[in-house]
């Protein structure tokens, strides 16, 4: 628990920006240091992509098309991490259920819901023998147990004798479209096109720094923030989301009823215009170093 309790940590990304009124050139400026460790393989790789309507420089991920952080001839952008709460952990009432394909079910508001079993095959490279399939047993499971209600999240602990399980719900467990964001930004020419691309950055919440040749400086947050039924009703039911929540009812992510532009996850989310953001800040600058912009996550 020591790393979680350490409030004096000095790790993390940083970024800042100034408007034309504060720069010597009369143009907006941004600076960004993603501040990641030098791993092998590296997280980022320098890239210059040029072809057709694309001429973009920056850093990319291995195997992902496009530049993730960088600039073209019209816009520039950078990022730090935003600790938005997009994951909940639930104590489930878990029972044996012969009618379920996995033989297990959770109980939600008195109704049984089957737990699904996704078959798994694990393979390893062995010196002299090539790729070898590892049989189930010990710490190797035959299948991953999935709770459909939890955005198809896994059941990470199960004790049928105690009628208890622990599941995890995360916005990134369903299909999302972050690659589309970067392909749009690589070709973007103005703030409007950058904001259109932002709508496809569905999970992995970030603080984005933006500047363009038209004189604009902006800061945006991204990611689809799920809305919890008890919090939207104005009170916490049981334990708040930063603890383990009650999976039998009262703490659910609300099913989507008001879909936002290009929304991916099947739950109600915070509308984009309610996300922290500023365009051409009146102060003439902004700064962020993995800060929680709304002040509601790191201090609960």
DSSP character string of 244-257:
PEETTSSSPBPBPS
Share of the chain above pLDDT 70, in %: 96
Alpha helices in the chain (DSSP H): 2-5, 178-187, 191-198, 229-232
pLDDT tier, 297 (very low <50, low <70, confident <90, very high otherwise): low
Q: Which residue has the tokens 């210059």?
A: 48
Left if phi > 0, otherwise alpha if psi is -120 to 50, otherwise beta: which for 151? left
First-last CA distance in the chain: 17
Helices 178-187 and 191-198 meet at what angle, rounded to 10?
170
Q: Bigger pLDDT: 32 or 139?
A: 32
- 213 pLDDT above the threshold of 80: yes
pLDDT tens across 94-137, in order? 999 999 999 999 999 999 999 999 999 999 998 888 999 999 98
Calculate the CA 88 to chain-centre distance.
Answer: 13
C-alpha distances (whole Å) from 239 to each of 40, 163, 221, 236 are 40, 20, 27, 7
Exposed, middle or buried by CB within 10 Å (0-12, 13-18, 19+), for 285? middle
pLDDT tens across 188-207, in order? 999 999 999 999 999 889 99
Residue 38 in tokens: 């030098």
């Amino acid at each position: 628990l020591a790393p979680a309790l350490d409030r004096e940590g000095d790790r993390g990304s940083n970024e800042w920006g100034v408007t034309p009124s504060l720069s010597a050139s009369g143009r907006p400026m941004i600076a960004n240091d993603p501040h990641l460790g030098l791993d092998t393989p590296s997280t980022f790789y320098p890239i210059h992509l040029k072809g057709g309507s694309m001429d973009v420089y920056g850093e990319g991920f291995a195997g992902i098309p496009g530049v993730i952080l960088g600039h073209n001839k019209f816009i520039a952008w950078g990022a730090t991490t935003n600790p938005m709460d997009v994951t909940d952990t639930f104590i489930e009432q878990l029972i044996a259920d012969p009618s379920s394909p996995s033989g297990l079910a959770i109980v939600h508001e008195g109704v049984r819901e089957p737990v699904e079993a996704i078959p798994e095959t694990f393979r390893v490279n062995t010196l002299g023998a090539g790729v070898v399939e590892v049989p189930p047993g010990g710490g190797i499971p035959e299948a991953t147990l999935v709770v459909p209600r939890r955005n198809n999240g896994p059941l990470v602990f199960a004790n049928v004798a105690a009628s208890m399980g622990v599941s995890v719900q995360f916005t990134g467990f369903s299909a999302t479209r972050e690659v589309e964001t970067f392909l749009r930004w690589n070709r973007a020419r103005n703030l409007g096109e950058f904001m259109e691309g932002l709508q496809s950055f569905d999970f992995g919440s970030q603080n984005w720094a933006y500047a363009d040749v038209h004189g604009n400086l902006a800061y945006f947050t991204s990611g689809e923030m799920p809305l919890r039924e008890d919090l939207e009703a104005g009170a916490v039911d049981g334990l708040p989301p930063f603890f383990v929540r009650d999976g039998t009812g009262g703490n659910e992510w609300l099913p989507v009823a008001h879909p936002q532009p290009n929304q991916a996850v099947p739950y109600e989310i915070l509308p984009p215009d309610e996300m922290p953001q500023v365009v051409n800040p009146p102060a003439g600058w902004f700064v962020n170093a993995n800060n929680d912009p709304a002040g509601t996550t790191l201090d609960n």
